[in-house]
Amino acid sequence: MPPDAARRSDRSRRAILVAALELVEAVGYARLTIEAVAARAGVGKQTIYRWWPAKGPLLFDAFVELVPAVPDAVITHDLVGDLVVELRDAVVELEDRRFDQVCRALVHEGRADLVALLLMPRRVVLEERLRVARRVGEVRADADLEAAAELLLGALYQRWLLRSAPLTREYADSVVGLVMRALRP
Amino acid sequence: MPPDAARRSDRSRRAILVAALELVEAVGYARLTIEAVAARAGVGKQTIYRWWPAKGPLLFDAFVELVPAVPDAVITHDLVGDLVVELRDAVVELEDRRFDQVCRALVHEGRADLVALLLMPRRVVLEERLRVARRVGEVRADADLEAAAELLLGALYQRWLLRSAPLTREYADSVVGLVMRALRP
């Protein structure tokens, strides 16, 4: 592609991703149409279909490229405090309407692989923090840290998925308390 | 309604529910149509729409009325064994294609309230088993049993939702092991 065309193409791509993310926040996934994204981005529908087969993968790319990444693990001398920070951040993320709408839709579309990719960074960060804790003896040597991270996040995801009870900061704190009991030497 | 009409109506209702459940197993939720359910049940489409507004609530009723209920808590002298039985049963349930398809679709349709109703019996059974354990001192007196049940099931639901790793019996066992560590006096 000549440089000018490549620049135009980059601009269109970005405009489409921005439009998709703004629209899913405004109207929700179910009522989001490719037509509306195209109109808002100032491109033709075919331009979108050239790059993405459906709404799900388009929104996935929009997320990955536009929404700030999960920051690295916070590592202070307070393990419980650090875990609480991570879980509270996870709650804030789950309550972001864009995140919520896109994840639910991807689950339904059978693209749980994409949801897993969206959620994975948080789990990696938690495991990393627990690994440091195990190294300094705050977590027992034989603890399965992958399972522990799944336990910490699974509790939140359950409430998010089922809306069975409010997904509060206090709940995040109590999950950390319970799991830490299982992990202490 | 005269007795004959009531009987006919009951028969139609049951035929619709059976057809819906068989079809969702065969073709999945996304490709299930009200037309196909009506044809299979031998009723008109309007008969279905008179009772149900959409696929989600129809399948929810089919589940509740046709799929055997979660049995009462198993209470032996082996707490860990009992919890393992419950969690392994939960794995089997999540892997039932009808259950899987319907739950994912309800999540997407924003009817998490119905998913919660489908999943609730299992949680109640687990809490009941833990309550007995607390009474006899196998679980510490100040343990939050509701949170514990959420932790046990949340771990499974996460893997089910994300398909991030195989949902095995061994995983169910290790979740029980980890959570029991948090609950022992």
> Is residue A88 domain-shared with residue A165, that is, in the same domain?
yes
Whether residue B85 is contained in a domain is answered as yes
> Is residue A149 domain-shared with residue A101, that is, in the same domain?
yes
**Cβ–Cβ < 8 Å for B144, A148:** no
Give the model's pLDDT for residue B119. Answer: 87
- Whether chain B has a CB inside 8 Å of the CB on A22: the answer is no
Q: What is the average per-residue pLDDT within A14-25?
A: 94
> Is residue A107 domain-shared with residue A179, that is, in the same domain?
yes
Interface of A with B in 39-78 (CB under 8 A): none
> Is residue B99 domain-shared with residue B167, that is, in the same domain?
yes
B107:A112 CB<8 A: no
Q: Which amino acid is at B60?
A: F
> Is residue B83 domain-shared with residue B42, that is, in the same domain?
no
Supply B100's token pair.
């899987």
> Is residue A62 domain-shared with residue A94, that is, in the same domain?
no
> Is residue A97 domain-shared with residue A165, that is, in the same domain?
yes
Q: Could you tell me if the ipTM is greater than 0.90?
A: no
B116:A162 CB<8 A: yes
Whether residue A107 is contained in a domain is answered as yes
User: What is the 3-class SS of chain A, one letter each residue?
Assistant: CCHHHHHHHHHHHHHHHHHHHHHHHHHCCCCCCHHHHHHHHCCCHHHHHHHCCCHHHHHHHHHHHHCCCCCCCCCCCCHHHHHHHHHHHHHHHHHCHHHHHHHHHHHHCCCHHHHHHHHHHHHHHHHHHHHHHHHCCCCCCCCCHHHHHHHHHHHHHHHHHHCCCCCCHHHHHHHHHHHHHHHCC
- Whether chain A has a CB inside 8 Å of the CB on B31: the answer is no
> Is residue A62 domain-shared with residue A90, that is, in the same domain?
no
Domain with A35 in it: 3-66
- Chosen from B156, B158, B160, B181 to mutate, greatest number of chain A CBs within 10 A: B158
Domain holding B59: CATH number?
Answer: 1.10.10.60
Whether residue B102 is contained in a domain is answered as yes
Domain holding B158: CATH number?
Answer: 1.10.357.10
Lowest mean pLDDT among A14-18, A23-27, A68-72, B51-55: A68-72
| Cα A67 from Cα A21, distance rounded (Å) | 9
Separation in Å, CA B87 to CA A22, A35, B157, B175, B181:
41, 45, 11, 9, 16
Residue ending a domain, choose from A45, A66, A87: A66
Give the model's pLDDT for residue A118. Answer: 87
> Is residue A59 domain-shared with residue A135, that is, in the same domain?
no
* Residues A32-56: tens digit of each pLDDT: 999 999 999 999 999 999 999 988 8
B151 interaction partners in chain A (CB closer than 8 Å): 151, 154-155, 175, 178-179
B158:A153 CB<8 A: yes
Whether residue A73 is contained in a domain is answered as no
* Residues A114-154: tens digit of each pLDDT: 888 888 889 999 999 999 999 999 999 999 898 899 999 99
Give per-10-residue mean pLDDT for chain B (185 aa): 77 95 90 95 95 90 87 88 93 88 80 84 92 95 90 89 82 91 92
What three-state secondary structure class fits B68? coil
Task: Count structural domains, chain B.
Answer: 2
| Cα A81 from Cα A74, distance rounded (Å) | 9
Nearest Cα of chain B lies from the Cα of A112 at a distance, in angstroms, of 5
- The larger pLDDT score, comparing residue A176 to residue A105, is at A176
DSSP letters, B76-96, are -S-HHHHHHHHHHHHHHHHHS
Whether residue A72 is contained in a domain is answered as no
Whether residue B74 is contained in a domain is answered as no
> Is residue A175 domain-shared with residue A85, that is, in the same domain?
yes
Q: If you ran DSSP here, which 8-state letter would residue B30 be given?
A: T
> Is residue A48 domain-shared with residue A85, that is, in the same domain?
no
The residue assigned the tokens 């739950």 is B103
Whether residue B72 is contained in a domain is answered as no
Residue ending a domain, choose from B12, B45, B66: B66
> Is residue A121 domain-shared with residue A145, that is, in the same domain?
yes
Interface of A with B in 98-127 (CB under 8 A): 104-105, 107-110, 112-113, 115-116, 119-120
A156:B154 CB<8 A: yes
Residue ending a domain, choose from A14, A45, A66: A66
Whether residue B154 is contained in a domain is answered as yes
Q: How many helices (H) and strands (E) does chain B have?
A: 9, 0
Per the prediction, chain A carries an average pLDDT of 89
| Cα A75 from Cα A77, distance rounded (Å) | 7
Burial of A110 (0-12, 13-18, 19+ CB in 10 A): middle
